[in-house]
Structure 1
């Protein structure tokens, strides 16, 4: 007897955001932080969606995450988050009647696989389990769309903990070709915290607020030297300057951008660089470089009693980590080189196909101009005979979950699962052989 679609729970258990819903649905029911947090003024821990509540003051909140560097290392915290999601948000009463499609990270060690299986079968009592990886699900979803990749694609997943460039062929991730950068959304947020704390206010304990500021204000530079010059200008001439206001706990409990129109002035910058840059240089010569002095004076006059901070070059230097980590003192290849290495690890017959079917997913790909910059970096590294085509997912945060929903509603899904009875009879390690990664 086949399972009904509504009995399959699809869980994309990300390091930053957890996405959960039912197989066959268009969108997940819950997209919540995969963590618990405790505000300084309270002894109570807030779990998942409670951190998103309108009345929740996340200033100085202490966070505990179940996932570190992409892997589930704290099952106790994960149990709290899952319990909240399954019982309160998905409103599931008898999990033994449900199957779980769980998205796990690539190269998950056997000991951590066993911990996840114990949570699924012993703590929550799911009837059956299927495990999938994010690149194969992204490919599955995009292949189901009009003009999507039919056979193979290169999925670039810029997630919370790290970034993967993963070749996928016929819905199977080619593990031997996967290349990883130890950089993701968490590292970018931490870098922004350091920059702001060094230049104006100490925000090292404001993870959720700085995460929000990063998402609202950061963008990818198409001309780094030009934007660095612009960021040194003073006053109204600096079109990159913007202000983020921290909560005061009285009139507002959430951080916000003071002037969104001001923050988006950079979008009017032309893509061409030569004329604009030379014009800028001549202006700076006329002023005698006064902009640099003004900028230094401005920073010395920062009022530390104010609950706000100003961003200029931080806005593009933070995403720059993904493209040129060496410039920021990190001994890693940039994203474009990572992609080329992943493609070159595959059979030469696949090279043109993969370069023509690059799919971007993950929250860090949402930075404005991300795809344009990546294409500019890639083009000189790829043979002229090959086309480079980059596809941005409609919603890169939900792309993996949507692929999971599609898989969970397929006729083959039931045969892909391991049941609770099988787990109890032969154990985690032997059950896991059913999954290809």
Structure 2
């Protein structure tokens, strides 16, 4: 048997608005992990290594001790908003190195309000390079929240350089909210008109409230297995291969020209996508369904270009052709994406994994993308980590 790695079980909680449900991060983790183990048909005692992700460094041991006390190695993973994908990346590496069964779990209990970028604190900050590039190129508005400002400036740069308009970004918000109507795990399941999205409270021009991901509580988990384990236990009907996975960090070009587009991760997404697609031996044209890190609608649009879905400066043409929804060339964020499903930081990458696993199994109910055989996951952590994974229907 080779060293291919398969997802054999996934689970998640419903993503919730902070402070609306009486639970703690071990409760969330137990729910998602139990669901994933049940889906896989294995016991927690069968797991050889576990990787637990929380951007706020909630200990992995405490997150999993309510599931079982087996002496298994548990590593706490922290990598900004790419934390969940980083836990998945490490769990996959462990299988490639010889484990038969590993677990990746991500979880977060968050506070209400916009995320901080570490501004105003003494000492080095994780976004020092990124903020410096954005400020040099576009300035800084002290009265505006930092994250919408960073991604909003990326959208403004695209509009000025390539001719996209606020309507293109609003359409992405409309699309993802529409997709979420069919996702029982989504924090928001309301459908809005395009006018509703455009006329919502302006957070940072061109981004209205309905184009921004909310803070959320929740958890996601995945059980990974070796090809040997899948074959021995005849799990081919439920297995989904992670055929390529890469996590890129910034290169010098990320900060050349003080581009806000690159400051929010376009370069790292491009590099990660190239590496992951090459490992999977597919092109972006072979992909059917994509879970993309749409923390803001502007990030979804610029990431179309980073993933190779559109040439530089032409991402808005995909919007005009409705190429990223059902009936188009790709279905992007059938789950509703971060904008509507929610964004509990440590859980996001595992929730993307769960959605793509369901899609490639043909078990995504009303969200199902017809005939999906290849999926792509894009998860961004400013500071900066660009994670891309390519999934294939098992064979």
TM-score, normalised via structure 1 length: 0.29
The higher relative CO (CA closer than 8 Å, separation ≥ 6) is in 2
Which one has a bigger Cα radius of gyration? 1
**What is the TM-score with the length of structure 2 in the denominator?**
0.31
